[in-house]
Structure 1
């Protein structure tokens, strides 16, 4: 009984003392922000036809649909072309700033607003990848995804270094200015009746929590109110990560079980048919090469079904999970090239990243840091490696892990 109580207390302490999986949440943030940013930039010349006033899904049709499903989109606040361009620019800017982790809490909310506004304006323009981005944009709001690999983390690290030297960091003027500007925007939107009851409570609640967080952190950074806010934020963060994991498992399990019921998946020929559709054949020669081998088609068909059905169960074993995760990410990369579905595949890879092991992500961060240092360091300033003379002993394991501070 004492061991059980000790295990429970350790589990509670682990969840409440610090946010779980900071590297995984950072990868998810970078992945989805980067995917949405690339999509918006690629479709920039066609933005008005896809989501704007020139699209086949007219303003009247969008109004009638939103009146029925009550979907959130600020694009329906005005039919003006200037308003559409402003919302599209907001979506691009918030994606870029969330990607680099600048004011992550605020940018995650604006990122969600941009995603929901564009996708709900023209609901028939999306595919499975857009649905994943749609959901993850909402979940990211409740995560502490800027704890590592972000400009917020770098700013917090500099402030801690200044305090360690006995210096007092300068006041944060950008945060309160941004908070006040968004508060004014909420006042205008609420006063004009643009927000319904549910979304009014959500946005005002997030705005009030952000103000309380800044005030408590400014006045009493080490007192009990700040500790309580940290505990609540960590619990919400862990719950959001759990929902992300459950969402990924649900996507794979439902897709796998639905495939099992199809006759083409049962006889092992399902992969053959999309390879011969013009819409999914950006490289006809490659598609013909893959479909010409019946054994390969059979293995890929059955392997896809088996991997999707088995994925939720492999979470019980770390090694099996890592192996199957690598297989599924590779499969999505192949789908991106062979079937011409890059954004769908990237969205699924970003969703899968929540399951990546921390040791691998730290090693990946170390490689990225060393690569960036080599690119930014002038060639003449790099120290030349010593030339070995005579027989040398085998080098020791010098693998370096760049540990980024996970405190903010």
Structure 2
């Protein structure tokens, strides 16, 4: 009994004592926020056709569909053009804030609202990566994904350094302001009947809002450590559970895709990859597609290799070396898909989902390389070329017809007074 209880107690202490995978969760945050931000910016000229009130999938059609499937979207609260433009801009800003890790908890909620609202407004827009992004935007709300590589982490480090120097913490005005504005928006949406299409997302929004308020109040006014420790434990459990679900979701995606491919006759005979290469929609580079499809061996290796990698990946998690090799193979495969088939955002979403399995040591080295490159760029920008000196600036020079002048001070030349 003692031999079993000891590992169990260690596991419970690990799950509750810290938010595991800080670098992996940061990569997931940056990857999905960056993917959605790039998509919104690329489709900005076409936003009306994709999600606008006068687009091909009309406002009334979308209203009927969401009334049937109870999907959440704030774009159907109004059919006005101004409402759509403001929300599209808010989705861009929320994605940028989550990418940078600015007020990560609030930004993750706004990011989720942006993703769900736009995707549920026009459900026929997407390339497969939108489904992954749809799910991951929900999971990110429960993670503590701003522990590293974020503006929140930088602000926390500065505050800790100030406390170490004996300085008082400056009052945080931005956090309570965001909390108050979001609470006002929730009250207006609730009492005007905007949340009558489903209860799950509104309940999540209200719960998150209440927890954030409780977190701030406990940290601000409660002197005892026990309530803060309890909140930390709950946050760690939610984070670790959400990170586990993200990993399980990635495994499930590959496992189901691989097993369904095995049942397809085109994958069995090794010709499945040939056909999408000759569809106009998936052929941004026809010459490259023709070159690849000209070899039957390449097509067969691509088809069989894809199936084997997808089916085998969940089982390789028990062997670190094999898992890392397959991670590289899958990321390279998605990079090829992005170029050859013209699916960059699908590939970015899948590469981000794969990145949750990257080793912590590799991510730390990658972060150190990025920080070093950023430091070198900053130092180069700080270097200034001295301006050429005129004869008047040379030491000992005396202009003709003028007496000697006193020495120059740091603030400039000192002249004579009358």
TM-score, normalisation: structure 2: 0.89
**Residue of structure 1 in register with 2:232 after alignment:** 230
Preserved contact between residue 127 and residue 343 of structure 2 (Cα < 8 Å)? no
Check conservation: 2:53, 2:59, Cα contact below 8 A: yes
Cα distance 1:222–1:161, how it changes in 2: closer, same or farther (>3 A)? farther
C-alpha deviation, 1:194, in angstroms: 0.5
Q: What corresponds to 1:317 in structure 2?
A: 319
- 3-state SS of the aligned residue for 1:256? helix
Give the superposition deviation at 1:380.
7.5
SS in structure 1 at match of 2:356: helix
Shift of 1:26: 0.3
When the two chains are superposed, the root-mean-square deviation of aligned CA atoms in Å is 1.3
- The answer to whether structure 1 residue 173 and structure 2 residue 176 are counterparts is no
Deviations 1:156-183 (A, max 9, x none): 0000000001111201010001100111
| 2:53 is the counterpart of 1:53 | yes
- Alignment of structure 1 residues 56-205 onto 2, 5 Å: 56-196=56-196, 197-205=199-207
> Counterpart of 2:166 in 1: which secondary structure?
coil
Aligned to 1:27: 27
**Partner secondary structure for residue 149 of structure 1:** coil
Q: How many residues are treated as equivalent by the alignment?
A: 382
CA–CA distance in structure 2, aligned partners of residues 191 and 278 of structure 1: 49
Q: Structure 1: how far apart are the matches of 2:191 and 2:61?
A: 26
Aligned match of 1:354 in 353, 356, 363?
356
**Radius of gyration: which is bigger?**
2
Partner of 2:279: 277
How far, CA to CA, are the matches of 1:222 and 1:369 in structure 2? Answer: 38
- 216-225 or 22-31, which deviates more: 216-225
**For 1:10-39, what per-residue CA distance to the aligned partner results, in whole angstroms no more than 9, with x for missing partners?**
111111111010000000000000000000
Partner of 2:342: 340
- d(CA) in 2 for partners of 1:381, 1:3: 62
Partners of 1:326 and 1:48 in 2: how far apart?
Answer: 38
- Residue equivalent to 2:395: none
Residues 47-83 of structure 1 show CA distances to partners (whole Å, capped at 9, x for unaligned) of 0110012311111111110000000000000010000
For the residue of structure 1 that corresponds to 2:147, the secondary structure is: coil
- Equivalent residue in structure 1 for 2:374, among 360, 372, 386: 372
In structure 2, the residue corresponding to 1:298 is in which secondary structure? helix
Q: Which residue does 1:296 correspond to in 2?
A: 298
2:289: which partner in 1?
287
Cα offset for 1:295? 1.1
Q: Distance in 2 between matches of 1:46 and 1:74?
A: 19
TM-score (normalised: structure 1): 0.92
Aligned to 2:258: 256
Distance in structure 1 (CA, Å) of the matches to 2:200 and 2:153: 32
1:268-291: CA deviation from partner (whole Å, max 9, x where unpaired): 111111111121111111111111
- Could you tell me how far 1:379 is from its partner in structure 2? 6.4
Q: Secondary structure at the match of 1:144?
A: coil
Distance 1:77 1:228, change over 3 A: same
- Cross-structure match for 2:267: 265
Instruction: Say if 1:361 and 1:96 are closer, same or farther in 2 by CA, change over 3 A.
Output: same
Offset from partner CA, 1:111-168 (integer Å, 9 cap, x none): 0000000000000112210011000000000000001000000000000000001111
For structure 1, the 5+ residue unaligned runs are 383-408
TM-superposed deviation, 1:327: 0.5
Partners of 1:295 and 1:261 in 2: how far apart?
A: 21
CA–CA distance in structure 2, aligned partners of residues 188 and 84 of structure 1: 18
